[in-house]
Amino acid sequence: MPHAEPTSPPNLAQRIKQQHKNEAIKLYILTRLSIPSHENQENQETLQACILATLPYIARIPSMQPLNDGSWELLVRKTDLPLLRHVVQRHLPFATLSDEAYHPCEPTDADVSCWGPLAARKLAGFWFWMRASRVIGERAGVVTDFYEDVLDGSGWIGYDFA
């Protein structure tokens, strides 16, 4: 009978990294901000620029990523979510902030209608993998820890796209 090699305990750096990931998941949440388009595209772009430049000063939002449907994925500190909801409801009544059920690997209804459920799910996961890879490459700290943990949990780390 072959003898299995004992597994070594994680080293200090691995334990610290895991602790940071756990803290990031406890402290932050992804939400989706949808801003409906208006007839005047120039005003729409100006409006979005103003909103996106202002929100990080109102709530702790360390990452704002554009989504393929024109909405935005926001990484928000959980304690700031009520404040962010209040600001959106009061000052941006035309915008929608998703509930806490938002998951970046779940397809939108529009994507399911366009691509079908299986392809839409794969595309949603792939698009999130692309966003997360970009964020991880550009950032450090809690943002990277959060996105890495979501990727780990969704099974997209090490995914073979062939």
Query: pLDDT, tens digit, for every residue of 148-158?
Result: 888 887 766 55
Token pair recorded at residue 112 = 């399911």
Torsion sign across C-alpha atoms 51, 100, 70, 135: positive
Predicted pLDDT of residue 87? 83
Pull the structure tokens for residue 42. 């120039």
3 state DSSP class of 82 = helix
Q: Quick: pLDDT tens for 15-58.
A: 666 665 667 778 899 999 887 766 445 556 666 677 777 777 77
pTM of the model: 0.75
CB 63 within 8 A of CB 76: no
Q: Could you report the per-residue pLDDT of 59-78, keeping only the tens digit for each?
A: 778 888 988 888 889 999 89
